[in-house]
Structure 1
Amino acid sequence: MIDARQRRDLFWFFAIALLVLGAGIGLRDPWPADEPRFVLVAKQMWESGDWLFPHRGHELYADKPPLYFWLLGLAYAVVRDWTWAFLLPSLFAALGTLWLAYDLARRLWSHREGLWAATCVLACVAFVYQAKRAQIDPTVVFFITLGVYGIARHVLLGPAWRWFWVGCFAAGLGVISKGVGFLALLALIPYALMRWRGWNGLAELGRGNAMRWSLGALAFFTAMAVWFVPMIVTASTSGDPEHQAYVRELLFKQTATRYTSAWHHTQPAWYFLEVIAGYWLPFSLALPWLFPRWRDAFRAREARVWLPLGWALLVLVFFSASPGKRDMYILPMLPMMAVAAAPYMDRVASSRWFRRLLLALFVVLGLVFLVAGAAALQGDPRFELKIEAERGLAPASDALWWLLAATGAGMLAACAWWRRDAMKAAGVAFALLVVVLFSGTAVLLDAENSARAVMERGRAMAGDDATLGLVGWKEQNLLQAVGPVEEFGFRKPVEQQLQAGIAWMLEAPDARRLFVLDAALDACVIREHGRAVGTANRRTWWLLDASAIAPACRPSPGDASGD
């Protein structure tokens, strides 16, 4: 049971977590690379009522299963505003992950160790960054963590068959969110090895439980069947070749082929070690102090430490074996590594060298932000000109550089004020960095990063009644489009999009305009007759009417007759 003091501790921890993770919500629209795509897919699901087959524009979108898009739609159903809704699934998934890490460590050891486990998760740049983005990864991390949590409740603290079944069901939900939810079930491998070798700390589950174990598999497949069965039935009976192509793309190219023969994001086998060292700061600073203690726990056959840690190592091996790697892939490891670290963090935090290293990290970060902001305010360094050009910032505006300087100054002030308490200094500096920087940039950069400004300018130039045809478009362009629009495929080569767009515009030249990516303009376009709309996300856009189409590219009167 949790007493009054512990409830107070939890209240303040989660209040701080909510402030850090929730800062900036409602201040910006979706930003590339993935946010506009996912929100667009969810928005089209909501508007069409087709919750089985995700679409991106006119085309089916087979890169990801739909559960995360359903959650986006659920968030919108509650708040009825995409600007507020699109970050809520990540926020609640992150808070849920923190609770699971706390509760598992609390049950394994104590309330204090539970707080350490949750703090270690929150004290990770990669976790905070992903939690503040509309990515699928925070949701997948939650479902995988819930899966391992349920299994651990059973095999370490049980018997708790219901929790085991909940864990298996959560793993199935993870599969229909990003495919890798099954990784939670790998926790049964270290459990089986530890049971065989007689490790300490395992629950006595008794014999004759084959049926109960098999119900875990049933729970796993039942969760997957929530979407998979109606999708397969519809694809098989609709007679629509696009539905059948969707199934092939999702089940083969986006799963097996993506893992075994990745066509992008290829990295060496040791890539994730670099990720842990850099992207998991400041938590990763504790690892040199944790390794000897984990070694001793292994020698003592301590299952409470090594079941979550052994599972995390299996996840690391799984993703390292694939040629395609991205930093967020191994994020599901973090909560269980934090649980394994929890019983030792008091001793780690008491180390003088650890405290010095932690304080030095935030002093250096504060200096970097302060110096960068001050340099930009005092002159025009190369990085300032580059960022202003890429992000559509007016050269006369110094708001971003004041923001950087203020962030750095605040971090240094926190480190100076609490210099005798490195943990508190680091916590305040980290919170300042996240809250101030994410909220400030959300306000300053949103018009450019979301493409909202360029789409509004395009609409104003075209007129309220014209239909805009998008050529070479990205998801943010369609998501932020104002008024009636048309598009000519997303995956189709831009030269084919342009030809289709020209033919479409010339059918009703008075009522249609083309909104075209600069790189898509070819010899069919008379640039002098086009109008530059502006830039967004380092791309330049043009507005074309019929006068901007070269005579050689116009259909002859006979072609238009349809004979």
Structure 2
Amino acid sequence: MQERFSNLWNHSLGQVGLLLVFCFALFFVNLGRWDLWNPDEPRYAQVAREMIQRGDWILMHFNGEVYADKPPLFFWLIGLSSFLWKGFTSFSVRFPAALFGTLTVWVTFLIGKGLFTHRTGFLSGLILATSFQFIYLSTRANMDTTLTFFIVTSLFCFFRWYRKLPSLDSSSIYGFYIGMALATLVKGPVGFILPLLISLTYLVVLKDWNGIKKMRLLPGMTLCMAIIFSWYLPALLKGGETFLRETLVLHTMDRFAKGSSHIRPIYYYLYNFPIDFSPWILFLPGAILHLYSKEMKNDRKEFFFLWIWFLVVFLFFSISKGKRGLYLLPLFPAASVLVGKLWDDYIASSFESFRCKWVTIPLYGWMGLTLILGAVLPWVVSMKFPSYLHYSLPIALLLIGGALSLFFLNRIKYCAGLFFLIVGMMAIGSFYTERMVFPLVNHYKSARFISREIISRIQPGEKVGLYGGFGTGPYNFYTGIVPILELSTKEDLLRFLNSPERVFCLLKFKDFLALQRTEEKLKIQLISRRSVGGDDIVLISNY
């Protein structure tokens, strides 16, 4: 079997084919088995649907109002996917994220191959595809895999150009600027800030001032801005001063400097990132030590590029007031190639014996962790959700069996088998969770069920309101009603419920109880009560 793996690693085309098949099975198969869940999926789907319904592909709208939170490229992709797959379904809305997740794995392979060897690229692609957060975001309607693809492609073009210096061929550097522009059209200025910071920091650390001069910054940034402003200027003409203020100040500078949402401490990513990059985070310290080893002296420039890429993204988002785990996704390919190179050298047995501990020590840590999780999981499920106990048993068997198999393979020093077993454990575990467990909990996570109650009762001209600030997106999407009135104060709620005509209102159950206690004379009817994404939501009417 080792000989088969060795033959496989010597054929780049076969490796790319395997990566694509692997990603297809992991990201695309049964992608629509569960509904669109909060916080982002139904909102992004609704923005794309309103774009198509209005026929306005320049100025995005949500719940009938101008949506200045994000640029349009990801919504264009969802819209095109809805044409391709005949409507707005869970599958069609998630399709762009899965597609660009797969493409990011492919570009990561190219980076690993370009910096080191095609085997490093192959292992790096598998590492990225099986990291916890990357799997999750590649099967959700989030724009971060799309953003990551364009940032990674931009950096790939930069380093490809840089390695060719002093060649007169400068075509790759324009790919760098085009990638930045498209990343910006996905998620705003971070799309060009990160690649520019990474590339310039790298050249400054190397003290390569001549390289900075040859980057063609002026024509390159002119090209980048021309692509961005081909959308932004028409949107600005339509949206006016309010759109300018919201895009540049509220959703860019204020969000970074003041944190309009998701405010977390500066050390947040120190404990969040290790979870998101599991299980490969265990091997990252060894990969960094490998960077500074004597044997890597000839590859030091390549390692520095990856290390600077990692640090710039990590520090940039750590400084930002607003933080979410998914913001760090653009550094995952760099971390994957670092760990991929470590595993490639470990499998090739190019280490001195004591340096094998850079892999074997975290490997024993992973074995211990999976054994504990496998033993504890059924007990926890039996205590909290006894009716779902039998669904936890396959995961428990996978964890315990995987840990024991890793121990055996480590004893016989089958290094390639160790790597592929970890990949298999992550792939099987995530596939089972998303295709079996997610549909089971969909009843408690989705807004579709309570939305059906609205659709079955509401008549033309009747209004729906929402009180409690938990977002209209899921209810817009699953009812098709635009707008749903957002009632920000209790006075607004009472005025709405005292309307002479029949109205419907969504609010949290605790707010409903408080309303009953304080407004005894108010005539309201409880129609339905459902769990939606962890919130206890009720539908009421004044008739």
Please confirm whether the aligned pair reaches a TM-score higher than 0.5, indicating the same fold.
Answer: yes
User: Residue 471 of structure 1 contacts residue 501 of structure 1 at CA under 8 Å; is this kept in 2?
Assistant: no
Pick one of 91, 107, 125 that aligns with 1:118.
Answer: 125
Pick one of 93, 96, 99 that aligns with 1:89.
Answer: 96
User: Residue 126 of structure 2 contacts residue 423 of structure 2 at CA under 8 Å; is this kept in 1?
Assistant: no
Q: Which amino acid aligns with 1:93?
A: F
Q: Displacement of 1:55 after TM fit?
A: 1.8
Q: Structure 1 length as normaliser, TM-score?
A: 0.81
Gaps in structure 2 of 5+ consecutive residues: 1-7, 350-355, 410-416
User: Residue 466 of structure 2 contacts residue 472 of structure 2 at CA under 8 Å; is this kept in 1?
Assistant: no
Distance in 1, Cα, partners of 2:204 & 2:278:
32
Pick one of 16, 22, 26 that aligns with 1:10.
Answer: 16
- SS of the counterpart of 2:465? strand
C-alpha distance after superposition, 1:398-427 (max 9, x if no partner): 2x4322222222333344456414323222
- SS of the counterpart of 2:207? helix
Q: Which amino acid aligns with 1:76?
A: S
Closer, same or farther: CA 369–463 of 1 in aligned 2, 3 Å: farther
2:448 is the counterpart of 1:445? no
Taking only the aligned residue pairs, the percentage that are identical comes to 20
Distance in 1, Cα, partners of 2:374 & 2:475:
32
2:284 is the counterpart of 1:287? yes
1:432 is aligned to 428
User: Residue 471 of structure 1 contacts residue 497 of structure 1 at CA under 8 Å; is this kept in 2?
Assistant: no
- Structure showing greater Rg: 1
Distance in 1, Cα, partners of 2:292 & 2:10:
36
Closer, same or farther: CA 166–6 of 1 in aligned 2, 3 Å: closer
Q: Which amino acid aligns with 2:335?
A: M
Distance in 1, Cα, partners of 2:68 & 2:427:
38
Closer, same or farther: CA 497–36 of 1 in aligned 2, 3 Å: farther
- SS of the counterpart of 1:506? coil
**Root-mean-square deviation over aligned CA pairs:** 3.1
Pick one of 197, 201, 207 that aligns with 1:186.
Answer: 197
Q: Which amino acid aligns with 2:529?
A: G
Distance in 2, Cα, partners of 1:327 & 1:434:
18
Distance in 2, Cα, partners of 1:18 & 1:287:
27
Q: Displacement of 1:119 after TM fit?
A: 2.3
Closer, same or farther: CA 177–355 of 1 in aligned 2, 3 Å: same
2:180 is the counterpart of 1:176? no
Q: Displacement of 1:161 after TM fit?
A: 2.0
Q: Which amino acid aligns with 1:177?
A: V
Pick one of 493, 505, 514 that aligns with 2:488.
Answer: 493
What is the aligned length?
506
2:58 is the counterpart of 1:52? yes
User: Residue 494 of structure 1 contacts residue 520 of structure 1 at CA under 8 Å; is this kept in 2?
Assistant: no
Closer, same or farther: CA 46–401 of 1 in aligned 2, 3 Å: farther
C-alpha distance after superposition, 1:146-173 (max 9, x if no partner): 1111111101245442221112111111
2:543 is the counterpart of 1:539? no
Distance in 1, Cα, partners of 2:202 & 2:420:
37
2:451 is aligned to 455
2:3 is aligned to none
- SS of the counterpart of 1:52? coil
User: Residue 504 of structure 2 contacts residue 539 of structure 2 at CA under 8 Å; is this kept in 1?
Assistant: no
- SS of the counterpart of 1:86? helix
Pick one of 416, 423, 426 that aligns with 2:419.
Answer: 423
* Worse-superposed segment, 221-230 or 156-165: 156-165
1:324 is aligned to 322
Q: Structure 2 length as normaliser, TM-score?
A: 0.84
2:176 is aligned to 167
Q: Which amino acid aligns with 1:46?
A: I
2:248 is the counterpart of 1:267? no
1:555 is aligned to none
Distance in 2, Cα, partners of 1:368 & 1:467:
51
User: Residue 403 of structure 1 contacts residue 437 of structure 1 at CA under 8 Å; is this kept in 2?
Assistant: no
1:239 is aligned to none
1:561 is aligned to none
- Equivalences for residues 471-510 of structure 1 within 5 A: 471-472=466-467, 474-481=472-479, 485=481, 487-490=483-486, 492-495=487-490, 497-499=492-494, 501-502=496-497, 506-507=500-501, 509=502
C-alpha distance after superposition, 1:300-323 (max 9, x if no partner): 683222123213212222222222
1:389 is aligned to none
Q: Which amino acid aligns with 1:163?
A: S
C-alpha distance after superposition, 1:201-234 (max 9, x if no partner): xxx98x9958x54321122112212311211222
Pick one of 359, 368, 375 that aligns with 1:354.
Answer: 359
C-alpha distance after superposition, 1:258-309 (max 9, x if no partner): 1111133233333222233332111111122122221247976832221232
C-alpha distance after superposition, 1:89-143 (max 9, x if no partner): 1111111111111112212222112112212322321211221211121111111
Q: Which amino acid aligns with 1:252?
A: V
Q: Displacement of 1:499 after TM fit?
A: 4.7
- SS of the counterpart of 2:389? helix
Closer, same or farther: CA 48–142 of 1 in aligned 2, 3 Å: same
1:556 is aligned to none
Q: Displacement of 1:486 after TM fit?
A: 5.8
Distance in 1, Cα, partners of 2:478 & 2:197:
42
Distance in 2, Cα, partners of 1:337 & 1:414:
24
Q: Which amino acid aligns with 2:102?
A: L
1:229 is aligned to 233
Gaps in structure 1 of 5+ consecutive residues: 199-203, 237-243, 385-394, 547-563
* Worse-superposed segment, 58-67 or 523-532: 523-532
* Worse-superposed segment, 274-283 or 77-86: 274-283
Distance in 1, Cα, partners of 2:464 & 2:289:
62
Q: Which amino acid aligns with 2:82?
A: Y
Distance in 2, Cα, partners of 1:366 & 1:57:
48
Q: Displacement of 1:539 after TM fit?
A: 2.3
Distance in 1, Cα, partners of 2:170 & 2:289:
34
Closer, same or farther: CA 328–450 of 1 in aligned 2, 3 Å: same
User: Residue 282 of structure 1 contacts residue 358 of structure 1 at CA under 8 Å; is this kept in 2?
Assistant: no
Closer, same or farther: CA 513–267 of 1 in aligned 2, 3 Å: closer
2:336 is the counterpart of 1:338? yes
